[in-house]
Chain A
Amino acid sequence: MQAIIDIAGLAKSYKSGFQALKSVDLQIGEGEIFALLGPNGAGKTTLISIVCGIVRATAGRVTVAGHDVVREYRAARAAIGLVPQELTVDAFAKVADTVAYSRGLFRKGRDTAHVEHVLKELSLFDKRDSMVMALSGGMKRRVMIAKALAHEPRILFLDEPTAGVDVELRRDMWAMIRRLRDTGVTVILTTHYIEEAEEMADRVGVIRRGEIILVEEKAALMRKLGRKQLTVQLRRPLVALPGELAPFDLERSANGLALTYTFDAQAADTGIAGLMRQLAACGLDVVDLQTRQSSLEDIFVSLVSEAS
């Protein structure tokens, strides 16, 4: 993997003494979609802000496309498009003007065709002559994405892109992110909607109290930490678990009608066959079966609570 962003020993302490980041090391590969997960206040935005040049690091080093973000800030920043978390737009400007403004800031000449393409991509083309203040919140969010894409960046940062966004826009955004990835753009998104990371990301990083506690391929992570649960519905309530079933560590529901078995889906012997045999041997009538795979959310919650 060719790293397009290389973060080494990055630390940030604010004047108040609050340590937002404690020696973070992280590499982002070119062309991947990386999801940075973490609870509020974990340091996600601080990390992004340092990479983008908005916040100064206390210690450590960041290179973007091989350029140091402090010493070669022009080359580094030219590669990046940033969509911050807060809705901050020039309310009095026209949509097309504010997008063209962003392009200019990034040293790109006027290119009406590209601006038009970006506006169409985000369903903003009909609104190009509207004042930003006249748009709905979701539309303003689209304007911010259009501004970030105006200069054709190689890397796109999306800080909580779908916070407070309706389902349609969220779907549009996911589709847009996939199209961007297809054109080779690296996408880094922070989120606390696990669903989003699960849906989109190639790799997942988890940050907690200023420390990266895990970076893993999403698929591998789900495999590694993924637990499966088998729930068995019984015809008649079971008052107490028979001794024969003890090795399976079953969980009995309050009404005694359901038994839950947790197993490792990757294991050579999941133990399901044995369990079924024992159930039959105990004379328990099974009416229904269901299995459930733990989601990234369960994994995340267990990680964050485990570490605290």
Chain B
Amino acid sequence: MNIPAVRAIFVSEMARWFRTISQSLIAPVISTSLYFVVFGSAIGSRMSEVDGVGYAAFLVPGLAMLSILTQSLSNAAFGIYITKWSGTIYELLSAPVSWVEAVTGYVGAAAAKSVLLGLVIILTARLFVSFEIVHPVWMVAFLLLTAVTFSLFGFAIGIWAGNFEQLQIVPLLVVTPLTFLGGSFYSVKMLPPFWQKVTLLNPVVYLVSGFRWSFYGRGDVAVGVSLAMALVFLAICLAVISWIFKTGYKLKN
């Protein structure tokens, strides 16, 4: 294992993040705060409890998850795409670095950023709403699992993307709708019976539900199912990434 290489990639990716801290950390925190002000306070105060907790508190895990998903995806996708786009990837390809090490560095950094961001968002939320976290260890576990899975997904998108438009298209057209329809803002139980079934095809539902369970001890689906689905999704992403590197897809012509 080439540990210095993993560290070098991780450090340089984190440095990129800190260089643009206002965009990478402050902007998501502000937009999440706006969600709390609008949905939590203004609208939420007129709403009854959802699934046994106040609406504003109900929103916390979902909103944190929303940011973690989108930021993991965009951080990881951008990190590797910009290396490809600028041509500096020659160095990675000609270095004694295995794909496992390269992915560990890039995905590790992207996941670390979104875990940091998720924690900051939860802390920010605490300023607006009062809530307790019932299963803190599971909360961190779901946070890590989601951050790693979506960073892997983002990494694959970054390698696949041939231009900036393609880089944006999957997050915008697939992931954002899935996240909004994934029970971040509502409980699946609030949907008509038919849509309750349809929504179970959405992988984000399981992640949000599991994350919410770690906060309040209840979710839309059983926590075991959430965990299993999260692991399945992780496995799929790992398989795609290993295929990319084994075949040299879009990396080596």
Contacts and interface: CB of A to CB of B under 8 A. Distances in A.
Interface of A: 14-15, 52-56, 73-78, 80, 82, 84, 86, 88-93, 97-98, 100-109, 147
B192 interface: no
B252 A56 contact: yes
Contacts of B37: none
B253 A105 contact: no
Interface stretch (B90-98, B208-216, B217-225): B90-98
Contacts of A55: 252-253
B120 interface: no
Given A76-B96, A105-B5, A105-B97, 12 more contacts: A15-B253, A56-B253, A78-B96, A82-B91, A82-B94, A101-B11, A102-B8, A105-B91, A106-B96, A107-B2, A107-B4, A108-B4
A75 B96 contact: yes
12 contacts: A52-B93, A53-B94, A54-B90, A74-B98, A76-B96, A77-B94, A101-B8, A101-B11, A102-B91, A103-B4, A104-B4, A105-B95
A104 B95 CA distance: 10
Interface string B82-103: 0000111011111111100000
B12 interface: yes
Contacts of A109: 4
Nearest to A98: B12
Given A56-B248, A104-B4, A108-B4, A86 B87 contact: yes
A12 to B, nearest CB: 9
Interface in B92-124: 92-98
B96 A77 contact: yes
Contact of A74 (B8, B88, B91, B96): B96
Given A88-B88, A90-B88, A106 B93 contact: no
Interface of B: 2, 4-5, 7-9, 11-12, 15-16, 19, 86-88, 90-98, 248, 252-253
B94 A80 contact: yes
Given A84-B90, A106-B5, A97 B15 contact: yes
Contacts of B92: 105
B94 A54 contact: yes
Nearest to A102: B91
A84 B86 CA distance: 13
Contacts of A90: 12, 86, 88
Nearest to A83: B90
Give chain B's interface secondary structure class: helix
B253 A88 contact: no
A262 to B, nearest CB: 46
Most buried by A among B2, B16, B87, B94: B94
Nearest to B85: A88
B253 A14 contact: yes
B208 to A, nearest CB: 34
Given A90-B86, A97-B12, A53 B5 contact: no
What are the 6 tightest A-B residue pairs by CB atom distance, in nearest-first order? A104-B8, A88-B87, A105-B95, A74-B96, A52-B94, A77-B96
Most buried by B among A15, A76, A104: A104
B253 A101 contact: no
A70 to B, nearest CB: 11
A73 B98 CA distance: 9
Nearest to B92: A105
Most buried by A among B2, B93, B96: B96
Nearest to B1: A107
A91 B94 contact: no
A78 to B, nearest CB: 5
A294 B12 CA distance: 51
A192 to B, nearest CB: 21
Nearest to A12: B253
Most buried by B among A15, A78, A105: A105
Contacts of B11: 101, 104
B16 to A, nearest CB: 7
A147 B91 contact: yes
A93 B252 contact: no
A77 B8 CA distance: 17
Contacts of B4: 103-109
A87 B202 CA distance: 44
